Amino acid sequence: MTQHSAHSPQFFLTAPSPCPYLEGQYERKVFTHLVGAKAPELNDLLTQGGFRRSQNIAYRPACENCRACVSVRILAQEFCLSKNMKRILKRNADLIGTARPAEPSTEQYSVFRAYLDARHRRGGMSDMTVLDYAMMVEDTHVDTKVIEYRRRGPDSFVTGRGEGELLAVALTDQMSDGLSMVYSFYDPELEGRSLGTFMILDHIRRAAAAGLPHVYLGYWVNGSRKMAYKVRFRPQEHLGPNGWVRFQQED
């Protein structure tokens, strides 16, 4: 069996493939494995350096002719709600998010499948089976939680948990300096709730309550409509050649 050391991880480079965000561009990624007892420490360091986690792999873009992908993290302790975000929180005041161990369920996959079919039918994840989904959730060597969002029920004030059908899910890594939103999805028939935004706002609240400074959102791709929503959550920092820098953009 091949062993990987957190102190000297091996990095690999993928072959070029069509970019899913910018037409006409090709992407390459550098990646390493996140395994063993030191995986949480390595995941912290790599995430702070612009990597993302997918199962037991940490990766970041390494494209030859493009630098459009920029790592984004929200400053949770300084975050201020916009009027629209306050409306979204009010709209979803009947929901409770419950953090659970990184264990998949058929109920989660049902929501996941409906989300992919409605929002990402032609994406790279469109053909994921229930076994693929289970691997996405379970194959982690870091502190990962599944946060399930359900409506409040009669006993929620006692249990602190939502009840009834599952409406949204976030796969989230707990790190030393914040929360990293690995992947999130929701019932596509509930578009009016803005559940994607609501889950990000809930993670900001969770990070701030825990005294953690950051919520990592992955990559913002300037010029990609799919990623435009990420710059709405301010203040935030972007990772550039000189490290993490507060992002400034005219509205």
pTM: 0.92
Name 190's bridge partners: none
Q: Write the CB contacts of 8 (distance below 8 Å, at least 6 apart in sequence).
A: none
pLDDT at 251: 52
188 in Cβ contact with 157 (< 8 Å): no
Neighbours of 149 (CB within 10 A): 24
What single-letter amino acid sits at 15? A
User: Domain-by-domain residue ranges, the chain?
Assistant: 12-69
Question: Which parts of the chain have pLDDT scores under 50?
Answer: 1-6
Greatest CA span in the chain, whole angstroms?
56
The token pair that represents 176 in the structure block: 């030393």
The token pair that represents 182 in the structure block: 């690995």
pLDDT at 3: 47
Supply the DSSP string of 181-230, one letter for each residue.
Answer: EEEEEE-GGGGGG-HHHHHHHHHHHHHHHTT--EEEEEEEETT-GGGGGG
Helices then strands, counting H and E runs in the chain, come out as 6, 14
**CA 96 to mean position of chain CA atoms:** 19
pLDDT at 116: 94
